[in-house]
Amino acid sequence: MTSPAPEHNPFSSVVTARDVYDATRETQADVRNALTRLTALEREHAEFRHRLTALERWRYALPITGISAALAALGAVLTALIG
């Protein structure tokens, strides 16, 4: 008894070790690209964070500077009036 001949299926495929290797290399390249972009984004985020921190420091120091200037002016006026 012989086995029947297998039918030809146009949707069947054979995956070779070379196909797996090529797909792995492509995936490695994609991961390297993503890591490079992530590193660039981390640098950009750190730069923006540094700028924001500097602006916040300046913003919170401004009222204290204004109050100090007003007190100094008031002291100068009082010194001139009193003597």
Q: What is the pLDDT of residues 4-20, one digit of tens each?
A: 666 777 777 888 999 99
- Write out the H or E segment, with its range, that includes residue 19: helix 17-82
Residue 5: what pLDDT?
62
Measured between alpha carbons, how far is 33 from 14 in angstroms, rounded to an integer? 29
Q: Say what the pTM is.
A: 0.52
**How far from chain centre, in Å, is Cα 42?**
4
pLDDT, one tens digit per residue, over 23-77 is 999 999 999 999 999 999 999 999 999 999 998 888 888 888 889 999 999 999 9
Residue 4: what pLDDT?
65
Which two tokens mark 21?
A: 């290797």
